[in-house]
Amino acid sequence: MCGIFAVHGLTKPGQDRARFIALSKRLRHRGPDWSGCFVGQSSVLVHERLAIVGVESGAQPLVSEDGKQILAVNGEIYNHIALRQSVGPDVKFKTHSDCEVILPLYKQHDTALCSLLDGMFSFVLLDESVTPSRIIAARDPIGITTLYQGWSSERPDVVFFASELKSLVDDCDKIIAFPPGHVYDSKDDSTTRYYKPSWWNGDLDGPEATIPDTPADLKVLRESLEAAVRKRLMSEVPYGVLLSGGLDSSLIAAIASRETEKVAKAQYELRQKKLKDGYTSPTGDDSLVTEEATLAAWPQLHSFSIGLENSPDLLAARKAAHYLGTVHHEYVFTVQEGLDALPEVIYHLETYDVTTVRASTPMYLLSRKIKAMGVKMVLSGEGSDEILGGYLYFHAAPDARSFHQECVKRVKNLHTADCLRANKSTMAWGLEARVPFLDKAFLEVAMNIDPKYKEFNKGAAQELDADGCPLMEKYILRKAFDVTGDEKPYLPRSILWRQKEQFSDGVGYSWIDGIKGHAAETISDEQFAKSAERWPEDTPDTKEAYLIRQIFEDLYPSQAAAKTAVRWIPRGDWGCAADPSGRSVSIHNSAYEVDE
């Protein structure tokens, strides 16, 4: 993952080069490994690089063989090997970068190239073979990577793009979060949706709504998630997994552990065979650049967890790591350390959403520890709860249709919350987070399952299926990995069937209580009473929300910045509590236990 900054429509782009490099420098935490700048006829592209694949040769902006197309990318293209083969033997590549394949794909498919990419990405591509020069910009289907678009009323013909808000706020008085699954084209100043999966309209109320009726195939569900994890092991640098001890992160860790062992064995056997056969690579070295050779293969998987002393997540993660045999790294933080970090966290998050700030703070602290170890990439479990209705408030869904509509709505809005948190909390320290649950193929399987198979017991989650497993949230995912036979189980039953804890709860209940207490001491009753006067729109409804909004405004005082933030509002129409913490959902207090 990297940082990109681009401006198009300038009359004298060379005059602003130094300023734009300075604005891009605000993104350097995303790409500490190298910086690059290209000045075109009416455009400037700047890139801050975090080297993960093609480490030695993938500096950006990338330039096509004829020098007419220039590309700046933030992200990873997992199917780049297959795409390289698809463009034909006449295309000559300059680097081993997974992103370079976008250049020939553009020449062959124009903006339709976006649908061919399997990965997480935001990119800006400049085409100087046409007059006037053309720029296209695109963001991955769900918005795993971040991208903003901005305009200035002083220069109405100029358009700006940046990975983060902080590079645009000084120059733009209108800023939007660029919509996921869309592509912008300066040729006609259009922004169009390219990602159109079969389940996309499932949140609509009318006859155009698509409510699936496909039964849950547990084998397909399991294998598609395994494939999603496998492709995300593509790396040339040390990597690991974020392990909270909850279902989602533990499953990702379990699959990654198995795949790491397979990859290490397969890579060794491949190398031995090719060397025995006298293999010489096309580039004249012995790099063996194949799909298998681009998969990371540390001898043993490393896992990372964080929490307050003796928090639920730390204890569960320790148990999962011991079972999986990972090299486990455990970090304990204090409430005061979290409070001290709040301004930094909000600076990097660029939002005032309470839920996002709560959950991002421990993730931000953990990311710093991980990067200090020399690790550049981690796998994470975001997306599962939205896809499968795993949040505890889904217990309150009135019917299967409403359940599915909420799932689709939450997946569509992931870029405003969990994806934003995972991307910015980690990239604040130059650490890349990859999220297998948001794989396009896995989404196609999981989002097309009849919602009646995703719904769960509305009581105290004590009912058991025929195998003695509790009928609970994300039941089909748990059941898919509850395999029996000669093979070692993926996870211990106490982890596989552990009740949902939201990350901000699981790191220790005192964390949320600590923020609330700090806000109560910091924000006076008089200040809070005037919340609506200070912020007529998105008025904070608690002192905690007031404090977070105040910090955000100190950092980003413009209206343009405030309008990019999106708050998560619990489903009051389902009878849900106003506080977004999982502990406020009644089902949480009816916790259940299962035997080992």
| Active-site residue list | 2
Alpha-carbon dihedral 386, 388, 390, 392, rounded to 10 degrees: 90
Burial class (CB in 10 A: 0-12, 13-18, 19+), 448: middle
Phi-psi region of 321 (alpha: psi -120 to 50; beta: other; left: phi over 0): alpha
Q: What residue numbers does the annotated binding site for L-glutamine cover?
A: 98
Q: Which two tokens stand for residue 560?
A: 């343009």
Three-state secondary structure call for residue 8: strand
Question: Is 456 in contact with 242 (CB distance < 8 Å)?
Answer: no
SS (H, E, C) 303-362: EEEEECCCCHHHHHHHHHHHHHCCEEEEEECCHHHHHHHHHHHHHHHCCCCHHHHHHHHH
Which backbone phi and psi does 315 adopt, to 5 degrees?
A: -70, -45
Q: With contact defined as beta carbons under 8 Å apart, do 131 and 403 qualify?
A: no
List binding-site positions for ATP: 242, 306, 380-381
Determine the Cα–Cα distance for residues 243 and 303; give it in Å rounded to an integer: 6
Q: How many CB atoms lie within 10 A of CB 20?
A: 22
- Phi-psi domain of 128 (left: phi exceeds 0; alpha: psi -120 through 50; beta: other): alpha
β-sheet with 3-8: strand ranges across? 34-39, 43-49, 3-8, 155-162, 148-152, 174-177
Angle at CA of residue 368, ends 362 and 374, nearest 5°: 140
The annotation places the binding site at 98, 242, 306, 380-381
